[in-house]
Structure 1
Amino acid sequence: MSSQAVILAAGCVLWRRRPGTKEIELALVHRPKWADWSHPKGKLKRGETFMDAAIREVREETGMTCALGSRLPTARYLVESRPKEVRYWAAEAVGGAFTPSREVDRVVWLPPGTAWGRLTHERDKHLITALLGALRTTR
């Protein structure tokens, strides 16, 4: 990684029970600026903790409130030659509703396998596997 200051961010793999079943669905967000599908995430604000940022980003990007669960793997990659670190959590959606914005114009709820195929970046796909493992160990 570069010696430049690391961009710090946080996010969640947001999930819910599919209505009327025991199956789960994952929320993916579409960001028109990047023309991609990803998990909700964003940069920390000054003085904000990673956990607080993860909860805030879920609310801002999906309209959902959530309950944080297990910590998931951290993603590290370069953005325009700057190193970025994104800490992730499993998060169960507990309420709310989506309203489109300039930052996120669509949210979809998909079964894990379909979500895997919809994600734009390979680095986001392993988070689904991590979430499924975390949910198995907490039941």
Structure 2
Amino acid sequence: MIRAAGCVLWRYAEGGGDVVEVAVVHRPKYDDWSWPKGKLKRGETALAGAVREVLEETGMHCEPGPPLPTARYLAAGRPKEVHYWAARATGGTFEPNREVDQLLWLPLEAARSRLTQRRDRELVDALAEVLAEG
């Protein structure tokens, strides 16, 4: 089992108001748009790994919130489990890197259209529910 974790990183859009934007990342190795995530290190908790991956891939610090649905699928024929959290961005600066060459802050519907995998698109609704609950 491949164990991984990540976050649906969100913020309120610049300019005020209550429009929520999420960070989607482009991974050149796979040429896809996804959430920041990655494999856990030995002995690392899923939440610690999720926060570490967000910082490594996006340069963003975050405040993790409620857990979101776990994604389970086959990756190169091996079962993979990715634990996700809603996480509010609290600062930082994106620098393109080997794993992630682009980061876009998008409104929820635009993010849903941009994300490559259906399992990632489903997390847009999960985040919207969490934010609506306050």
**TM-score normalised over the length of structure 1:** 0.94
CA–CA separation in structure 1 for the residues paired with 2:98 and 2:85? 25
Q: Secondary structure at the match of 1:76?
A: strand
CA distance in 2, matches of 1:70, 1:136: 12
Matched residue of 2:86: which SS?
A: strand
Query: What is the deviation of 1:81?
Result: 0.4
Match of 1:103, SS state, is coil
Query: By how many angstroms is 1:90 displaced?
Result: 0.2
Instruction: Give CA-to-partner distance per residue, 1:68-107, whole Å, 9 cap, x none.
Output: 0010000000011000000000000000000011110000
Runs of 4+ with >2 A deviation: none
Partner amino acid for 2:84? Y
Gaps of 5+ in 1: 1-5
Give the paired residue count. 133
Which residue in the other structure is 1:18 paired with? 13
Mapped partners of 1:28, 1:110: distance in 2: 7
Mapping for residues 1-139 of structure 1, pairs under 5 Å: 6-19=1-14, 20-138=16-134
Aligned-pair identity (%): 59
TM-score by length of 2: 0.98
- Deviation per CA, 1:107-138: give whole Å up to 9, x if none: 00000000000000011011010000001112
Q: In structure 2, list runs of 5 or more residues that go unmatched.
A: none
Instruction: Give the match's secondary structure for 2:127.
Output: helix
